[in-house]
Structure 1
């Protein structure tokens, strides 16, 4: 299959804009394995998918040293399918989901990294925990018993708007909340260090607002292929 988009060139351009401490999650959902392979050949190792069946197909044909991130809303009944190999589940928005990740990770004798998803954006369609919900869940402390789940940090999506001031405010709200959570619950946990915000349209702003992990798809792979 011929690539109708210059994946390698686009990837290099994105990487050139990122500071050394910011990791790139190449959002590869709806793109064929050939596109992923082109990015892999250029050194990319973290890929983000949001559909379990599509992810399973790609895991079978792609190199085994890829770190797969699940980036979409994950139903609890689908966790068992990805638990054997997923590196990180980026959008944990309930204790119910975290408990299922713990159960399936333990079955596979693995520890699975997760990020807690914050809902700060103004659209009602976004998933995630409000800061108050997140405080309550962490204060209750059930997560401390989950030995096969490791909370690595927070993730969020900004509002879908051209208002840069609003986007910046949302990113900084998340960054400040990260500091609060770190001090309150993870002061002695060096692994709690990830702030995942920023996508193709707003990742440079996200980096200014202390993001450590950006999720970029369209800018690398072009419009969705399937």
Structure 2
């Protein structure tokens, strides 16, 4: 893909945005450093990866003002490798993972920003907290000992379907939960500000339902080669 294609794709996407304040996270998984640099030169500063190995290989080789977002399923034994590089972890899908992030962040005296991934899809393969678990954790005592994380909001992945009614319903479910939590007296380390939902195929639906961050990859960089 030529550099002009990435630049044109970014302009086309931005021109369709319903909310210009919604953050565009360019999902650069499987893409080479050269393609990320092209998107950077076109004004992008937030990049999303779903594999730890790609972050630790790419981050040192690219401009240091890039904000790296971990958007894929994160294993606890790999947290220590991305803590030095990461800006925001979208995919915090369990209390055990959150504890591990806090532990590794404490070791290097860093505060890590996190989103709690909520299970909103009909698919059983998706990860995440449910409403009861979130309420129990955010309003409980265990969170009070986590001094090296900041919870900035929620993340959700809709069902992989062409049915826009299902997708809209799932995004709406997440937004309702988000607003309900915002209305609660939450601990100091929780700033319920961001709601990350929407990808290349459904980011406009997500923006309609109140997304503050969309994770767009193929619509920017083209199809992926997973070989």
Instruction: Answer with 74-83 or 137-146: which moved more.
Output: 137-146
RMSD: 1.7
Partner of 1:15: 14
Instruction: Label 1:200 to 1:80 Cα distance change in 2 as closer, same or farther (>3 A).
Output: same
Aligned-partner SS, 2:215: strand
1:138 positional shift: 2.0
Aligned-partner SS, 1:100: helix
Unaligned runs of 5+ in 2: none
Partner of 2:107: 107
Give TM-score, length-normalised by structure 2. Answer: 0.94
**What is the CA–CA distance in structure 1 between the aligned matches of 2:190 and 2:152, rounded to whole Å?**
9
Contact 2:138 2:186 (C-alpha < 8 Å) held by counterparts: no
**What is the CA–CA distance in structure 1 between the aligned matches of 2:81 and 2:189, rounded to whole Å?**
29
**What is the CA–CA distance in structure 2 between the aligned matches of 1:123 and 1:56, rounded to whole Å?**
30
Partner of 2:222: 222
1:53 positional shift: 1.0
What is the CA deviation profile of residues 79-103 of structure 1, one whole-angstrom value per residue up to 9, with x for unaligned ones?
A: 1001112000101111111111111
Aligned-partner SS, 2:12: helix
**What is the CA–CA distance in structure 2 between the aligned matches of 1:21 and 1:189, rounded to whole Å?**
24
Partner of 2:163: 163
Number of aligned residues: 225
Instruction: Label 1:84 to 1:94 Cα distance change in 2 as closer, same or farther (>3 A).
Output: same
Partner of 2:139: 139
Partner of 1:33: 33
1:40 positional shift: 0.1
Give TM-score, length-normalised by structure 1. Answer: 0.94
1:57 positional shift: 1.0
**What is the CA–CA distance in structure 2 between the aligned matches of 1:198 and 1:147, rounded to whole Å?**
30
Partner of 2:212: 212
